Amino acid sequence: MQNSQISPIPLNEGEVGRCYRVMNVNATGVIRQRMLDMGLVPGVCLTVMRFAPLGDPIEIRINRFFMSLRREEARFVLVLPVGSCPRPRHGRFRRFFHGGSFGGRR
């Protein structure tokens, strides 16, 4: 965290109890669709809650929403560690009023 140049890691390497911001979703097909449909999209902030007793599926929290995914699926989600996910709604307002960022710097 103290490191100024943090690079994204795959979500399956996330640590329990820490917060991450989703940078990209590189899964394909159904898995990607399911992730996007459930709100696992770039920009959102998530907390790694726990791993299942047998060690595989992983539980994450996005806002008040709990979801699980297998490690092999989490591999395709690139995340960046962040300090904390504020518990109440975290409406990070991006493009909604500013028009497109299409082509703009990110």
Partner 1 sequence: MGDSAGFFMGDPSVAGDKEIFIALAGNPNSGKTSIFNILAGANQKVGNFSGVTVEKIEGTFKHRGYTVRLVDLPGTYSLSPYSPEEKVARDFILFQKPDMVVNIVDATNLERNLVLTTQLMDLEVELLIVFNMIDEVEKQGTRVDYTQFEKLFGAHVIPVSAMTRFGISELLDHIVDIKSGNIETLKYKHQYSDKIEDEIRALSEIIRDRVVWKHLPTRWLAIKLIEHDPDIISMFRPFPCWASVENVLESLREKIRRFENKEPDVFLAEERMAFIRGAIRETVKNEEEERETPTEKIDNILLHRFWGLPIFLLIMYAIFQFTFRLGEYPMQWIDRFFQFATRSLDVLIPASMLKSIFLDGIIAGVGGVLVFLPNILILFLCISLLEATGYMARVAFVMDKLMHRLGLHGKSFIPMITGFGCTVPALMAARTLRNRGDRITTMMVVPFFSCGAKLPLYTVVISAFFAPSMAGNVLFGIYLFGVIIGLISARLLKSTAFKDESEPFVMELPPYRKPSARSMLSQTWVRAYLYLKKAGTVILLASVIIWFAGSYPKNAEVHKRHETLRQSPGADIALLQRQEKAEQLPHSVAGKIGKFFEPISRPLGFDWRLNIALINGLAAKEIVVSTMGTIYALGDTESDSRTLAESLRSDPAYSTATGLSFMIFVLLYVPCIASVAVFFRESSSKKWTFLFVLYTLSVAWIASLAVYQLSSLLGL
Closer to partner 1 by CB, 2 or 100: give it: 100
Closer to partner 1 by CB, 2 or 89: give it: 89
**How near is the Cβ of 7 to partner 1 at its closest, in Å?**
14
The whole-angstrom separation of Cα 44 and Cα 77 is 12
Can you give the binding site for partner 1, defined by CB under 8 A?
24-25, 29-44, 49-57, 59, 62-70, 73, 87-103, 106
Give 79's DSSP letter: E
Report which of 56, 24, 51 is spatially closest to residue 40, judged by C-alpha positions. Answer: 24
The whole-angstrom separation of Cα 9 and Cα 32 is 17
Closer to partner 1 by CB, 55 or 83: give it: 55
**How near is the Cβ of 63 to partner 1 at its closest, in Å?**
5
- Residue 20 · residue 81 · CB < 8 Å: yes
**How near is the Cβ of 31 to partner 1 at its closest, in Å?**
4
